[in-house]
Structure 1
């Protein structure tokens, strides 16, 4: 993204912050006591070049950041959910497709069930035994999936969200996460998109209304700190 675009957005945000603050927006959810990391669509179709869904800043930003988050979760025993997206019926003329109507807007038919090379989670952040790999059909990781039930059964009250894209699947997951009653934390350095400016704008707007956008270092410190707190034993 060009420096000019970044500067223009920052100028717009400065004024927007004043307006939001004067109206009572930009409040903080804060971290809870039981986190789960939710990596949204960090699969090859989004993280590797040459695909319709390929996103920017994967190799030098998002993936290294998620690697650090995964390490923190794994050393502290925090649950991790990886989401990906693929479809069983990719014939756009078939009214029984599991793509619904979404293919009328974007080329989701390329992510077919018979192309695991595309929908597999990026090997650089490959899931380990015990981590959930959740297949979704729509933008939100919650829509039509077992995610909310899994989180509640695990006693989770806070979700740290990473992934792609800021303007779609990450944003929808954050909005639904808050609606489902979870503290939603977006890890600033670990969100990507295809379009210049989309990450900055959406993170600003999410932080004002739907979740807390926090730096990577703050999130890792939280994961380590809460991981050292002993769990209360039931009587």
Structure 2
């Protein structure tokens, strides 16, 4: 890896959110796919650390998240596959971080992994802006990382909450940037 201080963190680029007919699908999700693809392509070209943070719930076991939202993304179900082309490559710098909560940091080894690689800046993208993206960014901020959120590469089924989250993220936790600016940082 050339400059390991910047890592790309993709949040929940899974069929559950992007494939029509899935319970978590919403039509605007697909608007983020081209910007997400551009970021992933550039990160791969630059040999950046790429973290695929994805929902992975255990089938048949209690999960506190299910008290608030329907069962989703159970290991092996039809919602869990990656959107085609977003599967992690079999290289050391592309990893999957399974998560059972909204934040990619909560109860995972993400922080340890990033610190061991010398990462200081996280370029975050994915769904949903007001839930998993925001929770991950808040925890990253608490951990002392510089955070960039690529505006066009995130959205939500609740646009008013996504807009409020973008404002809060830019004001309190990091910087909301254009995809072009994000590509420059990669």
TM score, norm. by length of structure 2: 0.91
TM score, norm. by length of structure 1: 0.73
Deviation at 1:53, TM superposition (A): 1.3
Deviation at 1:178, TM superposition (A): 0.7
Matched, 1:180 2:143: yes
Higher helix share: 1
Deviation at 1:167, TM superposition (A): 1.0
Match of 2:23 among 22, 31, 52: 52
Structure 1, unmatched stretches of 5+, are 1-31, 92-96, 224-235
CA contact (8 A) 2:4 2:49 kept: no
Higher strand share: 2
Tell me how many residue pairs correspond in the alignment. 182
SS of the equivalent of 1:168 reads helix
SS of the equivalent of 1:134 reads strand
Give 1:184-199 correspondences, 5 Å limit: 184-199=147-162
Deviation track 1:70-120 (CA, whole Å, cap 9, x = no partner) reads: 1111111111011111222435xxxxx2x1x2211110x2322231x3112
* Structure of higher CA gyration radius: 1
What is the distance in 2 between the residues matched to 1:46 and 1:144?
23
Deviation track 1:32-90 (CA, whole Å, cap 9, x = no partner) reads: 9711000011111011122221134233x211101111111111111101111122243
Deviation track 1:140-196 (CA, whole Å, cap 9, x = no partner) reads: 000000111111111100001101111110000000001111111111100121123
Over the aligned positions, Cα root-mean-square deviation in angstroms equals: 1.7
1:74: which partner in 2?
A: 44
Measured at CA, do residues 126 and 33 of structure 1 come closer, stay the same or move farther in structure 2, by a change above 3 Å?
A: closer
Is 198-207 or 82-91 further displaced after alignment? 82-91
Match of 1:112 among 74, 92, 103: 74
What is the distance in 2 between the residues matched to 1:33 and 1:213?
21
Structure 2, unmatched stretches of 5+, are none
Give 1:134-145 correspondences, 5 Å limit: 134-145=97-108
